[in-house]
Amino acid sequence: MSLKDIPDDKPATFRQKQAVAFKIANSDYNLLPDLNRFVVAKRIQGAMYGVEQKTGVPITHKEIQELFDNPKLPKKVKQQMDDYFKVKSRFSKSLSEKEEKDPKQVTKGTKLEDLF
């Protein structure tokens, strides 16, 4: 069975989405340049999953094959990534606001009383 035998409207498999996410991450080093390419690929893959969940329409085999030929981040996936980071930044503390603990006051072992 070759790729040409697969119907264009068939949903893409997990491996196809994973492979195209890696291809997009490795083709565009301006996309999140401070992160490792593996992490960028996983974020792209997560955004693809988010788009599928939000719209209820799976990414098809034809769309994935077009992305293999032209590895460029789709606008709807980029928008999903931007939306995720906006929400995440509102609810996460910045590094300066994090609570710093004194190493002398952190318990080394776990006591049963500390768990409850």
In the chain, the largest separation of any two C-alpha atoms, in whole Å, equals: 65
**Global pTM?**
0.72
CA distance 81 to 48: 9
24: nearest Cα among 81, 60, 69, 88: 69
pLDDT of the chain along its 116 residues, tens only? 677 788 889 999 999 999 999 999 999 888 888 889 999 999 999 999 999 999 999 999 999 999 999 999 999 999 998 888 887 766 665 544 445 555 556 555 555 555 54
Residues 6+ apart with CB under 8 A from 99: none
Contact 77, 45 (CB under 8 A): no
